[in-house]
């Protein structure tokens, strides 16, 4: 692992040394824990997007349609497939008299998938895209399952539009829940429930959001110079990370972090 000091803060280039997905949860929770003490907590970001302004909406709708058409869209319980069978049947029943049956719906779906997308009626394509986008893109908290909603609402401390990332604030940002997660068990549960590519602030308990000490952005990058997972670190007090946190990280990773 390499730690780079940058103009904006620090980059801890991890690559895939800690694993990927669930295999890395335990180590990632330890990394976050290295930033906190008895007076601090980690607040993780749950981001909401405005569906009407969603900047990549049309691209995502096209991708979802293509994935379903090629039968590679995840649909464990078949719910989406069954709904689209109904959409296709309804579309053609408006144009001609056909008798509804499971066999007919299966045939219509097979015909749909064996026909080039460009040759399928545009209105049918749009109906399917609208349905797939609505069910697969969770823009607001209400779009998520009840377990996620309860977890966020129970721990939410701030709701704002403070954009701390190192790129321009998107126009479709609706708001951000900042939720307090204090135990390692809850942190790992959050990774599994929402996203293990975590975004969080480290802040003193019972203080204003603007007084955060660190902002952590764990993400995946692909490029010629680096490929893999990286933790971007921004601090509000220059040098505090090197003095207080880096020694704890070195202890966790047995001095495997190379400072360059």
| Average pLDDT along the chain | 93
pLDDT for the residue numbered 46: 96
Q: Give the pLDDT band of residue 134 (cuts 50, 70, 90).
A: confident
pLDDT for the residue numbered 225: 87
The model's pTM: 0.75
pLDDT for the residue numbered 55: 66
**Tens digit of pLDDT for each residue in 31-66?**
999 999 999 999 999 999 887 777 677 888 999 999
Task: Map residue 80 onto helix, strand or coil.
Answer: helix
For 49, counting Cβ atoms within 10 Å of its Cβ (0-12 exposed, 13-18 middle, 19+ buried), the class is buried
- As given in the structure block, the two tokens for residue 13 are 């280039």
Q: Give the pLDDT band of residue 254 (cuts 50, 70, 90).
A: very high
pLDDT for the residue numbered 138: 83
Percent of the chain clearing pLDDT 90 (strictly above): 78
Please give the backbone phi and psi of residue 51, each rounded to the nearest 5 degrees, phi first. -60, -35
pLDDT for the residue numbered 195: 85
**Tens digit of pLDDT for each residue in 72-119?**
888 878 999 999 999 999 999 998 889 999 999 999 999 999 999 999
pLDDT for the residue numbered 139: 85
Residue spans per domain, the chain: 2-51+140-259, 55-136
The CA distance from 101 to 98, in Å, is 9
**Tens digit of pLDDT for each residue in 181-217?**
989 999 999 998 888 999 999 999 989 999 999 999 9
For 13, counting Cβ atoms within 10 Å of its Cβ (0-12 exposed, 13-18 middle, 19+ buried), the class is buried
Contact 42, 32 (CB under 8 A): yes
pLDDT for the residue numbered 172: 87
**What number is the average pLDDT over the span 156-175?**
92
pLDDT for the residue numbered 17: 93
């Amino acid at each position: 692992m390499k730690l780079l000091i940058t103009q904006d803060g620090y980059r801890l280039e991890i690559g895939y040394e800690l694993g990927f997905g669930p295999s890395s949860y335990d180590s990632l929770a330890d990394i976050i824990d290295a930033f906190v003490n008895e007076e601090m907590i980690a607040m993780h970001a749950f981001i909401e997007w405005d569906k009407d302004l969603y900047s990549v909406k049309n691209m995502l709708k096209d991708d979802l349609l293509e994935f379903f058409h090629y039968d590679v869209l995840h649909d464990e319980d078949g719910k989406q497939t069954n709904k689209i069978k109904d959409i296709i049947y309804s579309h053609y029943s408006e144009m001609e008299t056909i008798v509804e049956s499971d066999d007919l719906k299966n045939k219509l779906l097979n015909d749909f998938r064996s026909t080039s997308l460009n040759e399928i009626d545009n209105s049918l394509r749009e109906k399917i895209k609208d349905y797939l986008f609505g069910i697969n893109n969770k823009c607001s908290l209400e779009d998520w399952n009840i377990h996620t909603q309860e977890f966020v609402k129970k721990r939410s401390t701030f709701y704002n539009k403070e954009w701390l990332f190192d790129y321009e604030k998107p126009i479709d940002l609706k708001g951000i829940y900042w939720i307090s997660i204090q135990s390692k068990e809850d942190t790992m549960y959050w990774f599994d429930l929402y996203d293990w590519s975590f975004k969080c602030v480290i802040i003193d308990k019972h203080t204003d959001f603007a007084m955060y000490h660190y902002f952590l952005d764990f993400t995946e990058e692909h490029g010629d110079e680096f490929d893999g997972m990286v933790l971007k670190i921004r601090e509000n007090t220059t040098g505090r990370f090197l003095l207080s946190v880096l020694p704890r990280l070195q202890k966790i990773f047995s001095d495997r972090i190379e400072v360059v």
